[in-house]
Copies of this chain bind each other. A is one copy, B any other.
Amino acid sequence: MDNLDRGIIDLLRQNARASYGDIGVEVGLSASAVKRRVDRLVADKVIRGFTVQVDPNVDGMQTEAYVELFCRGTVAPDELRRILQGVPEVVDAGTVTGSADAIVRIRSRDIPSLEAALEKVRIAPNVDHTRSAIILSKLVNRSGD
């Protein structure tokens, strides 16, 4: 993992379908050398995969919300993880600093299904209450979804 690898990854991030030859011109390597490095990065699991960014409006998962979770007493992270993983609409979740115990990112087709997902999260034991912020419009999206 040196600067060459980082350069290759940066280029792939911009266009994962770029040819090895083109990448090689940018970073100063031959196509074969680039391919060897990319293969190694994939084998080493540094590169998890190549994917495509799709307009979320098209695949019909456009309703998203941040949900703060407030728990009673002690929180068992492992149990929380188990519960949250059981809700497919949960895209992302983590324990956080601040007054909330965890922040959960939920994505669903529409408001009713968002509410249903939220209900499933609330079932988790020790969850005292939640506070949701529904996303009105996306300002930036560099996370690939």
Contact = CB atoms under 8 A, between A and B. Distances in A.
A120 interface: no
Given A95-B136, A135-B95, A50 B142 contact: no
A115 to B, nearest CB: 13
A143 B145 contact: yes
A117 interface: no
Indicate the size class of the contact surface on chain A: 35 or more
Contact of A80 (B9, B85, B139): B139
A96 interface: yes
A93 interface: yes
Contact of A17 (B50, B54, B96, B133): B50
A112 interface: no
Interface string A127-145: 0000111111111111111
Interface of A: 1, 6, 9, 12-17, 45-55, 58-59, 64, 66, 68, 77, 80-81, 84-85, 90-98, 100, 102-105, 131-145
28 contacts: A13-B54, A15-B50, A16-B16, A16-B17, A16-B50, A46-B54, A47-B52, A47-B55, A48-B53, A48-B54, A48-B55, A49-B144, A51-B52, A66-B66, A80-B139, A84-B139, A90-B142, A91-B142, A92-B138, A93-B141, A94-B136, A94-B139, A96-B135, A97-B133, A98-B134, A143-B144, A144-B144, A144-B145
